[in-house]
Structure 1
Amino acid sequence: MTTIRDVAKVAGVSPATVSRVVNGLAGYSAETRRRVDDAIRELSYEPDTLARGLKTKQGAVIGVLAPVVSDALASEIMSGVESAARQRGYSVMLGRTGPNSAYAASYLRTFRTYRAAGVILISAAVTADMRRALGSGIPVMSVAIRDGAQFPSLAIDDEAAAYDGTRRLITLGHRRIGLLAGDPASTLVNTVRKRGYLRAMTEARLDPLIEHGNSLYDSAPPALGRLLARDAGLTAVFALSDEMAAAVVNELQRKGRIVPDEISVLGFDNTRTSTHVYPALSTIAQPLERMGQLAVERLLAAEDGPAGALGPRILAHRLIERGSTSAPADRTTPSRTTSTTHPTKENS
């Protein structure tokens, strides 16, 4: 049987380093990780931490994999995951892949080693490689993204949500509405949300104006600059994440523009970031914490049957209006609500 010492010899590292890589710990270079991963694949090494005395019962761990997404979004989903897991006697193991998605395979192997009861992917789709890394016995679910397949997922209807947000800005009287979208490579979220914006603008016979960031704070100021360079008379910006929306508010104020008197800003997600900026953000709310709780419940239920049979589930979104949006200065303000619920059909 292949041992950790065999892997260490092939990789040219110490057994302790192999152990750190296998368990997702820090303290080695990317090149070292690559050599260890290559050696593990070459030798078909399957570490059995439990057999070496891990004091955790089989199936008592739920794995969570969080690629590059808003820290605020991932944190709120994790809050729901942890509360639901703790109530049921499970521990949670989190893996953050950072900008290098190659780390995902190592984390998935670790989840398999710990015989996780299930794995939750935050804003990431289930791929064939992920499924192979986990094996057939561990159910997996995507959260805050619809992966387009029949693996379980929990998400809102992103197109409908972006449509509703754009329509509200139009109802307020805005006609020059810029969209600050996320990474154009994100076809399962960004492209779908853009479609909702474009549908609303087309119906109103308005010209769309789109620039891209990457959903994170630092990407928004340059993208806003490009929007304003194309149309300095914009009266509203719809940013497809709260982090970008917060950056837009701060950048506009730095430029001497008054929010919302001169330009309204609408965000997306309703994370804590939305209330940590002044004026507080109007935003599209996702039930992020509830998504985390439901993911745990559905994964544990899937232990009794094939995970794929559960399929996707669509949750309701809400439009929450705060201080960052209003009617344009030359229009009379329509009636406002503090929270508008837009339920969507749920499929169990």
Structure 2
Amino acid sequence: MTQAEQEVPHMTTIREVAQRVGVSAATVSRVVNGVPGFSELTRQRVLQAIDELGYEPDSLARGLKTSHSALLGVLAPAVSDALASQIMSGVESEARAHGHAVMLGRTGSGAELAVEYLRTLRAYRPAGVVLISTAITPEMRRAVGSRVPLVSVAIRKGNELPSVAIDDELAAYEGTMSLLRSGHRRIGLLAGDESSVLVNAPRERGYRRAMRAVGAKPLEERGNSLYESAIPALQRLWQRDPELTAIFALSDEMGAAAVNEAQRRGLRVPEDLSVLGFDDTPTSRHVHPPLSTVAQPLVPMGESAVRLLLGQGPRNQVLPHRIIARGSTGPTPMPPH
């Protein structure tokens, strides 16, 4: 054997996987491609053997090698559709510019669907995967394989992956300070999902830090970033303090809900109640009055994520946020004479 031959790495074949499990190559192929005709036990054994042997399907790889484009995957959990679509817009435009196609997976709030999606995506030998507001788990990494590069968008600290995000704590601090500078002291926070410790927790810290800096009392209730979750959370805030003069919602969808619910109660926005959102999604401009918001550069974040997957730019990127004042915020109401 020549030295060159010795340096060629061994590529595991489908037959080797089949032999390891004791099934036919056709059964392995059906498992890889999601075609029925095998038991759940067989499926688990085949997937375990694929992980252990490092098997990567050849037929799809040959198709990619003869094509001018490769595939990028995007994982979007149960966050605002508007937020995910803005990031996706940036991912798709930058991916096209580099000759790549994009496959999107909606994964909900649990890790199980994310693992299934990544396992399926692995068969296509993706050039990389963008994870939107999703922290990687060991099971997810095993599902997609160690060779596939991953980039996280909208999560900064506490995340082992290369990332593109804003400084969430600083952004929430400055958002709260913008309300405090307008004279507000009774500011209720509509927080996000408690399980989202890498996104919502820093924002909550920023809000509390600003409130305590001026001696104001933090007042928080929790939704899950989506519109419907904000209504009961708002009701709880008003029960705790009927004299609130401002609401800081940690997503634009919850901010839009706050505007609409306040008006339904007969309050004027912003004369009686100021509302500040977070993200600067199209939702912020589709409510009346238009929603003031803490803006994330969502489209550029998606673009930067693709460039990072392709080896361009620093490993962890912190993009600038900004406070956009629209019609939903104003000075604190004057007390009646």
- Equivalent residue number for residue 44 of structure 2: 38
- Equivalent residue number for residue 92 of structure 2: 82
Contact 1:174 1:327 in 2 (8 A): yes
Contact 2:75 2:129 in 1 (8 A): yes
Asked if 1:220 is matched to 2:230, the reply is: yes
Q: In 2, distance between residues paired with 1:83 and 1:299? A: 14
Contact 1:80 1:291 in 2 (8 A): yes
Contact 1:126 1:147 in 2 (8 A): no
Deviation at 1:57, TM superposition (A): 3.3
Q: CA RMSD in A?
A: 3.0
**Deviations 1:166-216, CA, capped at 9 Å, x for gaps:** 101010011100000001121111111000000000000001100000001
The correspondence of residues 311-326 of structure 1 with structure 2, limited to 5 A, is 311-326=315-330
Residue in structure 1 matching 2:333, options 311, 320, 329? 329
- Equivalent residue number for residue 234 of structure 1: 244
Alpha carbons of 1:56 and 1:259: their partners in 2 closer, same or farther (altered >3 Å)? farther
Deviation at 1:49, TM superposition (A): 4.4
Q: Which amino acid aligns with 1:236?
A: A
Contact 2:61 2:124 in 1 (8 A): no
- Equivalent residue number for residue 67 of structure 2: 57
Q: How many residues align?
A: 314
Residue in structure 2 matching 1:272, options 282, 286, 308? 282
Residue in structure 2 matching 1:178, options 188, 191, 211? 188
Contact 1:245 1:266 in 2 (8 A): yes
Q: In 2, distance between residues paired with 1:97 and 1:219? A: 19
Contact 2:172 2:203 in 1 (8 A): yes
Contact 2:221 2:233 in 1 (8 A): yes
Alpha carbons of 1:94 and 1:152: their partners in 2 closer, same or farther (altered >3 Å)? same
Q: In 1, distance between residues paired with 2:314 and 2:124? A: 24
Instruction: Give the percent of matched residue pairs that are identical in Structure 1 and Structure 2.
Output: 57
**Deviations 1:38-85, CA, capped at 9 Å, x for gaps:** 254255375444157568638711111111111000000000000001
Alpha carbons of 1:33 and 1:197: their partners in 2 closer, same or farther (altered >3 Å)? farther
**Deviations 1:241-290, CA, capped at 9 Å, x for gaps:** 00000011111111111111110000000000000100000000000000
Contact 2:69 2:101 in 1 (8 A): no
Q: Which amino acid aligns with 1:319?
A: I
Tell which structure's C-alpha radius of gyration is larger.
Answer: 2
Q: In 1, distance between residues paired with 2:246 and 2:173? A: 15
**Deviations 1:206-252, CA, capped at 9 Å, x for gaps:** 01100000001110000000000000000000000000000111111
Deviation at 1:137, TM superposition (A): 2.0
Q: Secondary structure at the match of 1:248?
A: helix
Contact 1:95 1:107 in 2 (8 A): yes
Alpha carbons of 1:37 and 1:68: their partners in 2 closer, same or farther (altered >3 Å)? farther
Alpha carbons of 1:210 and 1:232: their partners in 2 closer, same or farther (altered >3 Å)? same
Residue in structure 1 matching 2:149, options 139, 150, 158? 139
Q: Secondary structure at the match of 1:91?
A: strand
- Equivalent residue number for residue 344 of structure 1: none
Alpha carbons of 1:298 and 1:176: their partners in 2 closer, same or farther (altered >3 Å)? same
Q: Secondary structure at the match of 1:102?
A: helix
Contact 1:125 1:147 in 2 (8 A): no
TM-score by length of 2: 0.84
Q: In 1, distance between residues paired with 2:59 and 2:273? A: 56
Q: In 2, distance between residues paired with 1:132 and 1:39? A: 14
Alpha carbons of 1:289 and 1:51: their partners in 2 closer, same or farther (altered >3 Å)? closer
Q: Which amino acid aligns with 1:318?
A: R
Alpha carbons of 1:312 and 1:53: their partners in 2 closer, same or farther (altered >3 Å)? closer
Alpha carbons of 1:41 and 1:157: their partners in 2 closer, same or farther (altered >3 Å)? same
**Deviations 1:72-131, CA, capped at 9 Å, x for gaps:** 000000000000011111101111112442111222123322111111000012233322
Contact 2:61 2:125 in 1 (8 A): no
Q: In 1, distance between residues paired with 2:216 and 2:195? A: 25
Contact 1:59 1:116 in 2 (8 A): no
Contact 1:151 1:310 in 2 (8 A): no
Contact 1:240 1:267 in 2 (8 A): yes
Q: Secondary structure at the match of 2:179?
A: helix
Q: In 1, distance between residues paired with 2:277 and 2:268? A: 17
Residue in structure 1 matching 2:268, options 234, 258, 263? 258
Q: Which runs of 5+ in 2 are unaligned?
A: 1-12
Q: Secondary structure at the match of 1:301?
A: coil
- Equivalent residue number for residue 343 of structure 1: none
Contact 1:177 1:235 in 2 (8 A): yes
Alpha carbons of 1:35 and 1:165: their partners in 2 closer, same or farther (altered >3 Å)? farther
